[in-house]
Amino acid sequence: MDGGDARSAVHMGGFLSRRRYDPPSWASHLRPLPSHTFSLGHLPTPIHRWNLPHLSDGVEVWIKRDDLSGMQLGGNKVRTLEFLMADAIENGADCVITAGGIQSNHCRATAVAARYLNLGCYLILRTSKALVEKDLGLVGNLLVERLVGAHIDLVSKEEYAKIGSVVSSLLHAILPIREKFARASSQWIVNDHG
């Protein structure tokens, strides 16, 4: 992809930096353990007390503010993508492929993370049969995905359900998509929702 590789990405205060991964003690027995992650969010995010009216005495509600992890990636998606993108780069990928709904936050976050790390991104998005052949314009997550240069292919919900949501199944079953992705020199599949 133009712009170099992930190692040439701009680092801002640790953002986009490659970090060694030291698992917490409760996860140290898991195998395989990732060796590194890429810092894709502004973490840790704060925990705020939510002052709700009419709570019983002694009841408190606290909210983990993962929406503050970064505007483009937002939410909990960034935590998973830090591992998945590091794995893709470590395995020599120059693009990532994933699938989801037409306004999938997972797909948007994957496309933005790929752009940050100078990887290509291919998205297989499901929508209604009537909309598969139409230009859906620049709305919501589609706008962001197009702005960051993601390659987008639409499939009907029926076709998606028939094949299954596993990206590799979609690639093998849908000829035009398979031919397009075959042109990418080194692909890495990120299954739905990481």
- The rounded distance, in Å, linking the Cα atoms of 185 and 63 is 43
Prior bond of 32 cis (ω within 30°)? yes
Interior angle at CA 166, CA 30 and CA 18, nearest 5:
50
Q: For residue 125, give both structure tokens.
A: 């998005």
Asked whether 74 and 109 are in contact (CB, 8 A), the reply is: yes
Q: For residue 180, give both structure tokens.
A: 């397009």
Chain Cα centroid distance, residue 133: 25
Q: Which of 8, 17, 39, 104 is catalytic?
A: 104
Residue type present at position 41 = G
Is 185 an active-site residue? no
Strands 95-101 and 120-127: parallel
User: E strands along the chain, which residues?
Assistant: 18-20, 36-38, 47-50, 61-64, 95-101, 120-127, 151-156, 187-189
Residues taking part in catalysis: 104
